[in-house]
Amino acid sequence: MASYTIQQRVQIVGLFYENQRFVKSVFRKLREFYGVHNRPSESTIDRIIKKFQ
């Protein structure tokens, strides 16, 4: 399991709010930054968002 930096978590939360709060959209957008196989999973994105809220 990868540990994400504060900057990466802020990026994920920012994308979440930019994309009308859809985890699936954030998952697709992260492909640009992490590639297909290195991006966080949807459940990881969801966990990061829940911790932020």
Tens digits of residue pLDDT in 17-53? 998 999 999 999 999 999 889 899 999 999 999 999 8
In this predicted structure, the answer to whether residue 2 has a pLDDT above a threshold of 90 is no
Distance CA 50, CA 33 (A): 22
Note the pLDDT of residue 44: 94
Note the pLDDT of residue 1.
58
- For residues 13 and 21, give the distance between their C-alpha atoms in angstroms, rounded to a whole number: 9
Give the Cα separation of 20 and 6 in Å (integer).
22
Give pTM, 2 decimals: 0.84
Q: Distance between CA atoms of 12 and 2, rounded to whole angstroms?
A: 14
Q: What is the pLDDT of residue 5?
A: 94
